[in-house]
Each structure stands twice: as structure tokens, then as C-alpha cells.
Amino acid sequence: MRHPFPDQKPGTSGLRKKVPVFQEPGYTEAFIQSIFDSLEGIEGKTLVIGGDGRFYNREVIQTAIRMAAANGFGRVLVGQGGILSTPAASHLIRKNKAFGGLILSASHNPGGPTEDFGIKYNISNGGPAPEKITEAMYARTQTIDRYLIADFDDVDLDQTGVFEAGGMAIEVVDPVTDYAELMETLFDFDAIRALVSGGFMVAFDAMHAVTGPYAREILVRRLGVDPALVFNATPLEDFGGHHPDPNLVHARMLYDLMMGPDAPDFGAASDGDGDRNLIIGRNIFVTPSDSLAMLAANAHLAPGYKGGLKGIARSMPTSGAADRVAAKLGVEMHETPTGWKFFGNLLDAGRCTICGEESAGTGSDHVREKDGLWAVLLWLNILAVRRQSALEIVRDHWAEYGRTYYSRHDYEAIETENANRLMAALEDSFGSLAGRQVGSLTVEKADSFSYHDPVDGSVSRNQGLRIFFEGGARLVFRLSGTGTSGATLRVYMERHEPDVSRHDQETQTALAPVIEAAETLAGIRKHTGRDAPTVIT
């Protein structure tokens, strides 16, 4: 290796680049070595390795195995076929008391020879490495001048079993079994099976990504779901040319099915690496923010949570719907920056049980990642106990807590400079914003979100710009930390509506004054040259 690579700064969730970048000679090795160099005490320890099956997964797994051997790990656990969903990897790390894990994924980003790839390191609690560690890794990438790699043949990833190479044990394990067993400890599989065998129809879209094998084993084989309703269940290296992103744009087929005349009772989808979820009941799309609130309010109906919740955590841009549940339950509520890694300390310290993000991630203290199938199973468990439709559960929830209208507008692939200019100008205006009238809204206060971790005392600044309006509406501006080209501006809007007679509005209409305020206050059109968002969720 002749030189360090200047661009190996991990983002919200590890290092993500286009495949050809990872294919540059030494590039992948330099990053993996920088990870290993930032860790202390790996000698003889266990490392978990797996990925979402996208293009280049197998090659990087072979490299990672050889480098783990040369760097002194004593054992690696690898998912068969190179497959491990992110939550299953988190579980394997915890269950085997591994030192950590390498998860190869670019999550919901497209895959293929010219698409995205990613490498993320998780620590021994099973969760993404916290900022202190990712910063040390980045610092190391700036100076690194060598990597260590053992010389042995490719490991046969398709056979389970224990092998030995380079002085290290290599265990190829079934990626699903341990995870499925964990799910059986949390949920009432008998009750869900009874619901399904009673005619309750469940549809699941694995989006040609990692959850296919998990859905086949858990939903179909263990719970009796009709296999004809488990779509795209074979993982493909390019996800069939689609974005494995379970939102209303990319999971359109499922959405249309669920809104159509022959809709099954319940529909769900997961993303590339299996940590996200999309929940759609018959004729009702449940926003991730609402889903978090509803799962938290009903979690005690599942065996794994019957003792109640220790607390709830959500990322800052996620709506305040869960806060109302926490208040009612009398438990702690935490607001963290975007990125699952910020939940790790809270979960480890027993300060929260359920966490969620507007970006379609929900999970609990069973692992240290968000978990798509977990969310699906918790919904099914709740449906099995309450014997109501998803729509009824949603409506009951809104009646009890009020409805929080919520939407996110994304402006993808805009010039980084323009995006930075917009954010800087907006923040500059904050000094004089309080009291300003914007259409029908009045600004109450505005700030740049900083997080003070109550467990380790660390502070994370510049985590998004927030504008609060009188009456409780809120506007948040943030630049995405997961893109691989240009910048993506995310604008998050919400407004709480306590009045049941106004719970039937179309979301964009209900949020119109907040959407208008976003344009007035930030000049999105002027700065980005865009008339409309690329994606509305």
C-alpha cells in the first residue's frame, strides 16, 4: 500500500462508497486495517463477519477473514453464504461474547458493480461503534501505511462447519437459527400462529435482500404465513435492480397491494440488511414514528416485554408521538441524534427498552441494532392479542394520544456546497427567529441540536437544526450522513392534532403550513434549485 486514502471517514453508519472505490487496490484493506489498529486486545478473540449479500460481499468477506487471521483474532464466525442480517450479526456478537463484528452493507442503498457498498464495525455489546471509536478509525486511515493479511485459500462460505486457516478457527454458521430462537423467546409464537391459521393474512416483501431467508424460516415455516405472500425472498447481489429501501417509493408494490381491494390484513417490508421495517395494515400506512409509539404502548402484550418498559428513546427528527406514550407510562424518554449508535449507551445502562427512528428503524434491548423482523413480529404479537385490525389499533392510539401528522421531504444528490450554504444561512437566521410570524405559524424557538449523553457524558453537536412553533408544530433540517454522492437535505415536519374529528386529513394537507414555513425560512428553492423534493415519506 503506497498511501493512505483521504476519504475513509465513517458516516452515520460506517463507511459507504461506490463498489469501484472499494475495489481500488488496497482501499478495502486500508479501512479494515484501520479498524483493527484502533482496537485494543484483539489477540485470540472472536470476530463476527457477515453482510447483506450485495455485490462484492463475498470478496470482502474473504479479505476480512484473511486480515483477521493476520491481525491475531483467534476465531471468526461467518454467516453461511456470507449472509448475516444486521440484527442477527448483533445477536451473534452478544451471544458468543465476541470482541466485535464487521458488517458489510450499505443498508437500503442499491447494490451492484457500480452501486453502493459499506463496511461497519460493531463493538462487543453488538452495537455500532460509538463516535469516539469511529473517530479513532478515521484518524488511523489518515496515516496508515501497511496492512496485515494472511495467505490462504478462499474459505468455502457455503458449507457450515468449523475450519482452520492461518492459525485461526473459522466457523461458518447458519445465519438464521440463533436469531429465530431469540425471536421465540420474545414473542408468543403460538398466539401468532393461531392468528395466522385463523385466516389472518400477512404479506412480507424482503426486497431481494437479506431478510428473505429469515422470513422463510420465521414467518413461513414457524408461523404458517402463506409463502405466496412472502415476496422477493431470494437475496440478489443487485437486489433485482431496485433500492432495497422499504418506503412508499421503493416498496410501492406492497403499498398498492395493501391499499387495494384484495389487501391482506397486514403487510411489512425490510431493507437491504434487515434492520429497517415498513408497516402497512390493510388500508393504513403506519409512519415509523407512529409505529414506535404504538409498539411502545402495546409492548407489554408480548412475553419479552410483559414487565413493562424501562424507557423509550427516539432520534431527534422522529416525531414526538412516543414522548406521549412515555409520559403516560411514567418512564424515561430520551432524544438522541440520528444514528442507532446513540442508543447503545442508554440500552446498556438500562435506561430504555424500546428505541426508534423516523428512518424506519425500531428495536429494543434484545440486540444493539434496529431490527426489521422484530418490529414485524411485535406488531403481529399485538394483533394476535388484541384481535383488532391494524387500522383499529392505529385509530385507538390516535384517539387516546392525539395524532401526530408527520412527513419527511428529501432533496437528494444536491451540490454539497449548496446544501452547506442553506444550513449555514438558516442557522445564522436563528438569532432573530423567535416570535416571527410565518404564514399561520409563529416561531417559538430555534436551535442546533446538541446531545449530551447521560451515560458517558459525551457531547455531540450540530445534529440538526430545529424550529419549534407555538402550538407544538416542529420543523427540522438535517443533512444525511449516509449518502454516497453529493448531499441530501432532509426536512422533517410534524404537527400534533388532538381533535379526533380531524384525524382523517391527508398528511401533506395537514402539514401544509409547516411545509410552507420550511420554504420561507430556509429558501430551499433558492439554494438547491429544486422545485420539489425527490422523495416524500
Q: Rule CB under 5 A: is residue 290 a binding residue for Zn ion? A: no
Residues in CB range of 158: below 8 A, 6 or more apart: 80, 81, 172
Nearer to ligand G6P, 274 or 402 (CB): 274
34 binds, among ligand G6P, Zn ion, none (CB under 5 to 8 A by kind): none
Best CA proximity match to 376, nearest among 395, 361, 357: 361
At its nearest, how many Å lie between ligand G6P and the CB of residue 482? 3
- What's the rounded Cα separation, in Å, for the pair 509 and 513? 8
Place of cell 416570535: 435
Q: Which listed residue (200, 204, 239, 340) binds ligand G6P by CB under 6 A?
A: 340
- What's the rounded Cα separation, in Å, for the pair 370 and 464? 21
Q: Rule CB under 6 A: is residue 480 a binding residue for ligand G6P? A: yes
Best CA proximity match to 340, nearest among 307, 318, 373: 318
Contacting range for ligand G6P; rule: CB under 6 A; set: 70-78, 326-334, 380-388, 478-486 = 478-486
Nearer to ligand G6P, 314 or 403 (CB): 314
Q: How many CB atoms lie within 10 A of CB 507?
A: 17
Binding track, positions 324-353, relative to Zn ion; x by CB under 5 A: ------------------------------
Q: Sign of dihedral through CA atoms 475, 479, 484, 486?
A: positive
At its nearest, how many Å lie between ligand G6P and the CB of residue 134? 13
Task: Please answer whether residues 421 and 503 qualify as being in contact, where contact means their C-beta atoms are separated by less than 8 angstroms.
Answer: no
28 binds, among ligand G6P, Zn ion, none (CB under 5 to 8 A by kind): none
Helix (H) or strand (E) holding 180: helix 177-186
Q: Which amino acid is at 232?
A: N
- What's the rounded Cα separation, in Å, for the pair 152 and 38? 25
34 carries an active-site annotation: no
Q: Which listed residue (271, 357, 369, 453) binds Zn ion by CB under 5 A?
A: 271
Q: Rule CB under 5 A: is residue 273 a binding residue for Zn ion? A: yes
Nearer to ligand G6P, 46 or 134 (CB): 134
- What's the rounded Cα separation, in Å, for the pair 93 and 87? 10
Give the DSSP letter of residue 217.
Answer: I
Binding track, positions 166-205, relative to ligand G6P; x by CB under 6 A: ----------------------------------------
Q: Rule CB under 6 A: is residue 338 a binding residue for ligand G6P? A: yes
Nearer to ligand G6P, 188 or 410 (CB): 410
Q: How many Cα neighbours within 13 Å face the side chain of 45? A: 17
At its nearest, how many Å lie between ligand G6P and the CB of residue 340? 4
Nearer to ligand G6P, 74 or 481 (CB): 481
Binding track, positions 300-329, relative to ligand G6P; x by CB under 6 A: ---------------x--------------
Give the CB-nearest residue to Zn ion.
Answer: 107
Q: Which three cell numbers stand for residue 417?
A: 456546497
SS3 418: helix
Nearer to ligand G6P, 291 or 338 (CB): 338
Q: Rule CB under 6 A: is residue 481 a binding residue for ligand G6P? A: yes
Q: Rule CB under 6 A: is residue 490 a binding residue for ligand G6P? A: yes
Give the DSSP letter of residue 130.
Answer: P
> Among the options 90, 107, 359, 480, which is catalytic?
107
494 binds, among Zn ion, ligand G6P, none (CB under 5 to 8 A by kind): none
Task: For residue 460, give Cα distances in angstroms to 234, 356, 451, 477.
Answer: 40, 19, 5, 16
At its nearest, how many Å lie between ligand G6P and the CB of residue 185? 24
- What's the rounded Cα separation, in Å, for the pair 107 and 118? 8
At its nearest, how many Å lie between Zn ion and the CB of residue 85? 9
Contacting range for ligand G6P; rule: CB under 6 A; set: 67-75, 138-146, 214-222, 335-343 = 335-343
Q: Which amino acid is at 308?
A: G
Transcribe 286-328 into DSSP letters. Answer: EPHHHHHHHHHHHGGGSGGGTT--SEEEEETTS-THHHHHHHH
Q: Rule CB under 5 A: is residue 107 a binding residue for Zn ion? A: yes
Q: Rule CB under 5 A: is residue 275 a binding residue for Zn ion? A: yes
Task: Please answer whether residues 321 and 333 qualify as being in contact, where contact means their C-beta atoms are separated by less than 8 angstroms.
Answer: no
Contacting range for ligand G6P; rule: CB under 6 A; set: 39-47, 286-294, 336-344, 500-508 = 336-344
Q: Please state the separation of Cα 273 from the chain's center in Å.
A: 9
273 binds, among Zn ion, ligand G6P, none (CB under 5 to 8 A by kind): Zn ion
247-259 exposure pattern, b = at least 16 Cβ within 10 A, e = fewer:
beebbeebbebbe
Q: How many CB atoms lie within 10 A of CB 7?
A: 10
Q: Rule CB under 6 A: is residue 357 a binding residue for ligand G6P? A: yes
Nearer to Zn ion, 102 or 192 (CB): 102
- What's the rounded Cα separation, in Å, for the pair 467 and 429? 11
- What's the rounded Cα separation, in Å, for the pair 150 and 127? 28
Nearer to ligand G6P, 140 or 490 (CB): 490
Nearer to ligand G6P, 255 or 340 (CB): 340
Question: Which parts of this chain interact with Zn ion (CB under 5 A)?
Answer: 107, 271, 273, 275-276
Q: Which residues carry out catalysis?
A: 107
Question: Which parts of this chain interact with ligand G6P (CB under 6 A)?
Answer: 12-13, 107, 315, 338-340, 357, 359, 361, 480-482, 490
